Amino acid sequence: MLSRFFSKNGTLIFKFSIEQSRHLFVCKANDYCYKIASIDDTKKIVCFYKKLDRVEFNTNKSIEFEMKNGASFHYLEINGTIVAGMWIHKGLVCISAPSFYAFQCKPNKGVLFDNDTVYSSHNAVAKDYLGKHLYTNLLQCVFDYLYSSGIKYYVICTGFDNYRIINSSQKYGGKLIGIIKTQRFLLFKHKKIYYLNSKEKNWH
């Protein structure tokens, strides 16, 4: 009976050293084109997320807002269609995502990342291309780009049940540095963040 009113879930925080992780990838496939979106690509991004039934970033307004606030959308394209994508955020980040809500110390106040660190969100692969290692290929392209731009660290949060992101993070050098446990009872929430090594934090 209580399970109707009580729920418990969790979020994992992974941090990558880009310089170290970028050497762990195998050669990239060559049947796609890696791009960083501009405002002109807004409609393609909306279409990509709508096909995945994602409520975030499925309007022109939401995408243009993020881009104007310094975020960039990185994606792989095949035959003119986006097949994998992720957002990269710098500086003060305040986005709509369950894992990021748990990550924030105070609701809706955002998280300020150091200049050498980026946060990744809303990583996704088109349903018809799952299992083809496109997320890995995209991650490799993004790491190469970030490394050339002087960025040292890449941070991502994901739920306990997101095995694709967890397995990929472990395989390519992601270090588990934090665990967030969230409990909900009716309208009340309680959150606790456990850092395995608080010195690894590049944000506040």
Tens digit of pLDDT for each residue in 4-27?
A: 434 457 889 999 999 999 999 886
pLDDT at 182: 75
Looking at residue 61, which CATH number applies to its domain? 3.40.630.30
By residue range, what is the domain housing residue 100?
Answer: 2-200
| Mean pLDDT calculated for residue range 163-189 | 84
pTM: 0.89
Q: Which three-class secondary structure state does DSSP give residue 151?
A: coil
DSSP classification of residue 125: E
CB of 6 within 8 A of CB of 183?
yes
Q: Which three-class secondary structure state does DSSP give residue 158?
A: strand
**Number of domain units in the chain:** 1
Task: Report which secondary-structure segment, H or E, holds 129.
Answer: none
Tens digit of pLDDT for each residue in 124-137?
A: 999 999 988 899 99
